[in-house]
Chains A and B, each alone.
Chain A
Amino acid sequence: MTLGYFIYKIILVVVVFAITMVIAMYSTYAERKVAGFLQDRLGPNRAGWFGILQPVADAVKLFMKEETIPSVSNKTLFIVGPALSLLTACMTGVVIPWGTSLSFFGENYSLQIADVNIGILYIFGVVSIGLYGIMIGGWASNNKYSLLGAIRASSQMISYEVAMGLAIIALIMTTGTLSVGEIAAQQHGWHWNILIQPLGALIFIVCAFAETNRAPFDLPECEQELVGGYHTEYSSMKMGFYLFAEYINMFISATVISTFYFGGYNMPFIGRFVTDPNLLALCGVAFLFAKIFFGIFFFMWVRWTLPRFRYDQLMNLGWKVLIPLSILNIVLTGAWMMRHEILNVFIK
């Protein structure tokens, strides 16, 4: 492990972190803009050119606001909650392959921070810890509404994690690896996993909506019943942290969906037009980000179209529909993989 390698990894980490932050920041702006356009409005357009400085204005507002910590709350956990939420949201980007690799002076520099051979398990682990941020925040507020919101959030995320995991198992069966980098590499050309696993992709996307607590599954923060859900007692930048974590999660979800099912950095036919490997790698990064941005837009599009599920409908969908469907998906995938053996049995 040379010094150069070390510096390159640090640069990569910083760049990924910065990009994550900037995208999350501008997701708040994009959300308002998209919401406006979908509702025949214009959205924020006063701060800067087309309202481009709106996220900065929002951040300044959140920082300047009075910070209140309820006297009955558990102060340590009250602060740990949002911090944990944001921390885990930022950690997932480590195993994502942002591109193939760049080569300078005969050295290859992979655009993936850490190609862990159990990348999928790592993503699941980190996402599950993210739940603690919400749970701790809701519990530490010592407020009934926050507690109920946190319980809802946790039960929802646990329920949908099951279906999500089962959908991924079918994907692992076809790809034969747990490494995210390898899954992305396998999907070169038109070998996108959505064509092999359409049902699994659908289940995964639906579960991703539930995991990120976004509409139509944004029950943890339903204003009508629970005031603000788990962040009722939060104010100032701690509240901002929770909101920010939601947007980072959305970005990461879009990234994971595009990496797992939509070919990651691969784009068919690009090899015919671009031959330089470095340029090809950069094109791959651009394609991945194009897919991610569409994914984020899709998240917003759904949010401003669909009404919120009722709680029993949510649980019914999770346990009675998605989990059986994903098990069926595993069975079908297995049957397809073993089709020759099964046919042999019948022929004999």
Chain B
Amino acid sequence: MQPLTNRSKVVVNKQMSLYEKIYLPAIISGMMITMSHFFRKKPTIQYPEQKREFSGTYRGQHVLKRDDNGAERCTACGLCAVACPAEAITMIAAERKNGEEKLYREEKYAASYEINMLRCIFCGDCEDACPKEAIFLTDRMVVPEYNRKSFIYKKDILVEGVEKEKRIDVSRRQTAAVLEFKKHKEFEHNR
């Protein structure tokens, strides 16, 4: 029969030689191997005290960005919700009233914006879909909660603060490739 892979081995039921039957040389060499591991540097990261650095493009908890004046960028167009493969995003749109120009960048805004973090698979498609550069994934972890309801993040958690120190830096997500793509105004995405 033709073998399926070239990795198959013929099983040999050979008798052990006397040297192998004594076992002791093999045992001693095995114990030397484990002993060499005893003195090896341990790769353990002591989590709460020590934290591993995330990659620049780590996809963690989302943020809804504000523009430089502190107005929310999101216009509740719903493209992120459409793009979401896990159907984790829901929103209710509302029209901006007079005097709210400071709060919302455009005439339409998201009155409520919810992401179910238990459904979210952190693929980053919402970020790709967003034409207003309003939603980004960040290097923050989604913290554990005691019940499912707490995992439905609303605007109070998602939207970043107005003050400078409360802004969430997403520049690390904006890799060179992303910035290059955003220069091409002929793409519908960037209009």
Contacts and interface: CB of A to CB of B under 8 A. Distances in A.
Pair from one complex: yes
B31 A305 contact: yes
B37 A38 contact: yes
A38 B27 CA distance: 15
Contacts of B27: 302, 305-306
Contacts of B9: none
Contact of A41 (B31, B33, B35, B42): B42
Interface string B36-48: 0110101110000
A54 to B, nearest CB: 16
Contacts of B30: 305-306
A109 interface: no
B38 A37 contact: yes
A301 B33 CA distance: 11
Contacts of B42: 37, 40-42
A40 B34 CA distance: 9
B43 A40 contact: yes
Contact of A301 (B34, B40, B44): B34
A278 interface: no
Contact of A304 (B34, B40, B44): B34
Contact of B44 (A34, A42, A305, A306): A42
- Contact size class for B? 10 to 19
Contacts of B33: 305
Nearest to A302: B31
B37 A301 contact: no
A103 interface: no
A304 B37 CA distance: 11
Interface in A143-163: none
A305 B34 contact: yes
Nearest to B44: A42
Contacts of B44: 41-42
A314 to B, nearest CB: 13
Interface in A201-230: none
Interface in A281-334: 301-302, 304-306
A302 B27 CA distance: 9
Nearest to A36: B42
Interface string A30-70: 00001001111110000000000000000000000000000
Q: Which of A40, A301, A305 has the most CB of B within 10 A?
A: A305
A46 to B, nearest CB: 10
Contacts of B37: 37-40
Nearest to B36: A38
Contacts of A34: 38
Contacts of A306: 27, 30
Contact of B31 (A37, A39, A301): A301
Contacts of B34: 38, 301, 304-305
A118 B42 CA distance: 49
B104 to A, nearest CB: 48
A302 B37 CA distance: 14
Interface in A1-56: 34, 37-42
B102 to A, nearest CB: 50
Nearest to A45: B46
Nearest to A39: B37
A36 to B, nearest CB: 8
Contacts of A40: 37, 40, 42-43
Nearest to A321: B21
A306 B24 CA distance: 11
A311 to B, nearest CB: 17
Contacts of A42: 42, 44
A37 B38 CA distance: 5
B35 A301 contact: yes
A132 B66 CA distance: 75
Interface in B137-178: none
Contacts of A38: 34-35, 37-38
28 contacts: A34-B38, A37-B37, A37-B38, A37-B42, A38-B34, A38-B35, A38-B37, A38-B38, A39-B37, A40-B40, A40-B42, A40-B43, A41-B42, A41-B44, A42-B42, A301-B31, A301-B34, A301-B35, A302-B27, A302-B31, A304-B34, A305-B27, A305-B30, A305-B31, A305-B33, A305-B34, A306-B27, A306-B30
Q: Which 10 A-B pairs have the closest CB atoms?
A: A305-B34, A38-B34, A37-B38, A42-B44, A305-B31, A305-B30, A42-B42, A38-B38, A38-B37, A40-B37
Given A305-B30, A305-B31, 6 more contacts: A34-B38, A37-B37, A40-B43, A301-B31, A301-B34, A301-B35
Interface of A: 34, 37-42, 301-302, 304-306
